[in-house]
């Protein structure tokens, strides 16, 4: 049976050059390098400079993904940007990237599912490509988390970083099996009853300001471990696969302990898990495409490898996707 698949044709990413180390944070809040590394695995994060924003970082990452795909901006007919930190309440980051890159008129919009944003965007783009609405799309995760942090709150400010990652996703014919290249299955969830575990204390419709991140860290941690364990099992079952069929786990990069718990559930050696949280911190919707591009550029992920993406974030939202690179 011949079916349409959404194949990753190119990846790209951008990290702002300014690096803030744990030692730098020791000077701002009552914390220590040892505490941060032990609890999270994070040693440093990139923070946007004054002239950098979600739009500028998304544009750079998207430009590199287009270059890697061998296409030109005029070949793109859809853009989805997963972000919680848009430059403006409107217009969307996506239309600003479209204008900056010279992508012709077509579909362009933002999608907000916090740290799960990229998995949601991948799922929506895959549906649009398989339905024939678009044939070659940019799917971007981009965040300037530093602008919604309370830099006096040591329980949150040490965790996050800024950056952007992007992929070009294009329609190709497949045979309808897990051997096909492209997105094989996506699995999305949310549970608004858990909204108070992770939120911002403001927004355009209430305070008129973006607000700052507030979090019940321990509860988020517990939910993340158990929901990620469940969802990776669901992906394997849905596709009739065993743990050993997965070549690479490309998880949301929030905390090394959450990632290792998911890898343990899959009996995956840590060498098969892409880990960038140590150097990037938690870049929310940007973390998976940043990790993917890092692993592709390092020659780790190769054409034909079976990838498992998974993420959890505010909402709570969570999700996973299986794709052959």
Q: State yes or no: residue 220 binds ligand ACO (CB under 6 A).
A: yes
Q: How far is the CB of 260 from ligand ACO (least distance, A)?
A: 12
Say how far apart CA 312 and CA 124 lie, in whole Å: 17
Q: State yes or no: residue 218 binds ligand ACO (CB under 6 A).
A: yes
Pick from 48, 158, 164, 321: which binds ligand ACO (CB under 6 A)?
158
Catalytic residue among 22, 115, 187, 280: 115
Q: Which of 170, 144, 122, 132 is nearest to 45 (CA)?
A: 144
**Per-residue b/e over 134-173, b at no fewer than 16 CB within 10 Å?**
bbbbbbbbbbbbbebbbeeebebbbbbbbbbbbbbbbbee
Q: State yes or no: residue 159 binds ligand ACO (CB under 6 A).
A: yes
Q: State yes or no: residue 155 binds ligand ACO (CB under 6 A).
A: yes
Question: How many other CB atoms are found less than 10 A from the CB of residue 200?
Answer: 19
End-to-end CA distance of the chain: 21
Q: How far is CA 22 from the centre of its chain?
A: 23
Q: Which of 277, 223, 286, 269 is nearest to 253 (CA)?
A: 277
Q: State yes or no: residue 215 binds ligand ACO (CB under 6 A).
A: yes
The answer to whether 8 touches 167, Cβ cutoff 8 Å, is: yes
Q: State yes or no: residue 225 binds ligand ACO (CB under 6 A).
A: no
The span of 44-52, 165-173, 174-182, 220-228 binding ligand ACO (CB under 6 A) equals 220-228
Q: How far is the CB of 186 from ligand ACO (least distance, A)?
A: 19
The span of 35-43, 54-62, 66-74, 243-251 binding ligand ACO (CB under 6 A) equals 35-43
Q: How far is the CB of 294 from ligand ACO (least distance, A)?
A: 18
The span of 88-96, 150-158, 166-174, 199-207 binding ligand ACO (CB under 6 A) equals 150-158
Say how far apart CA 137 and CA 135 lie, in whole Å: 7
Size of the site for ligand ACO (CB under 6 A): 22
Q: How far is the CB of 42 from ligand ACO (least distance, A)?
A: 9
CA distances for 304 relative to 9, 112, 247, 285, angstroms: 12, 30, 9, 25
The H-assigned helical ranges of the chain are 22-26, 33-40, 54-69, 93-101, 117-131, 154-157, 217-238, 256-265, 277-280, 287-297
Hey, which residues between 64 and 93 contact ligand ACO (CB under 6 A)? none
Instruction: Determine whether 115 is an active site residue.
Output: yes
CA angle 238, 243, 247 (to 5 degrees): 100
Q: How far is the CB of 66 from ligand ACO (least distance, A)?
A: 28
Pick from 224, 274, 321, 322: which binds ligand ACO (CB under 6 A)?
224
Q: State yes or no: residue 254 binds ligand ACO (CB under 6 A).
A: yes
Question: Does residue 316 come out as left (phi exceeding 0), alpha (psi in the -120 to 50 range) or beta?
Answer: beta
CA distances for 8 relative to 5, 169, 208, 279, angstroms: 10, 5, 38, 25
Pick from 48, 115, 137, 296: which binds ligand ACO (CB under 6 A)?
115
Q: How far is the CB of 253 from ligand ACO (least distance, A)?
A: 8
Q: State yes or no: residue 313 binds ligand ACO (CB under 6 A).
A: yes
Instruction: Determine whether 134 is an active site residue.
Output: no
Catalytic residues: 115, 252, 282
Q: Which residues bind ligand ACO (CB under 6 A)?
A: 31, 35, 39-40, 115, 154-155, 158-159, 198, 215, 217-218, 220-221, 224, 252, 254-255, 282, 312-313
């Amino acid at each position: 049976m011949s079916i349409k698949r959404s194949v990753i044709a190119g990846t790209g990413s951008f990290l702002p050059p300014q690096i803030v180390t744990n030692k730098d944070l020791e000077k701002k809040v009552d914390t220590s390098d040892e505490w941060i590394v032990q609890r999270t695995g994070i040693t440093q994060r990139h923070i946007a400079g004054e002239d950098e924003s979600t739009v500028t970082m998304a544009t750079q990452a998207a430009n590199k993904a287009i270059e890697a795909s061998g296409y030109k901006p005029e070949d793109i007919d859809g853009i989805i940007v997963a972000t919680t930190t848009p430059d403006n309440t409107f217009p969307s980051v996506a239309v600003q990237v479209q204008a900056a890159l010279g992508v012709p008129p077509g579909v362009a919009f933002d999608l907000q599912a916090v740290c799960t944003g990229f998995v949601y965007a991948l799922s929506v783009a895959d549906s649009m490509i398989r339905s024939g609405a678009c044939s070659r799309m940019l799917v971007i995760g981009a965040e300037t988390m530093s602008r919604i942090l309370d830099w006096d709150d040591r329980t949150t400010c040490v965790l996050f970083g800024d950056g952007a990652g992007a992929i070009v996703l294009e329609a190709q014919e497949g045979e309808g099996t897990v051997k096909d290249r492209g997105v094989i299955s996506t699995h999305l969830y949310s549970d608004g009853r858990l909204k108070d575990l992770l939120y911002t204390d403001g927004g355009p419709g209430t305070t008129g300001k973006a607000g700052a991140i507030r979090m019940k860290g321990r509860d988020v941690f517990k939910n993340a471990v158990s929901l990620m364990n469940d969802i990776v099992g669901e992906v394997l079952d849905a596709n009739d696969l065993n743990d050993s069929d997965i070549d690479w786990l490309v998880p949301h990069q929030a905390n090394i302990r959450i990632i290792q718990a998911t890898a343990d559930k899959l009996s995956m050696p840590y060498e098969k898990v892409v880990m960038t949280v140590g150097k990037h911190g938690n870049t929310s919707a940007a973390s998976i495409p940043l990790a993917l591009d890092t692993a592709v550029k390092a020659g780790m992920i190769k054409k034909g490898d079976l990838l498992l993406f998974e993420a959890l974030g505010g909402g709570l939202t969570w999700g996973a996707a299986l794709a052959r690179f």
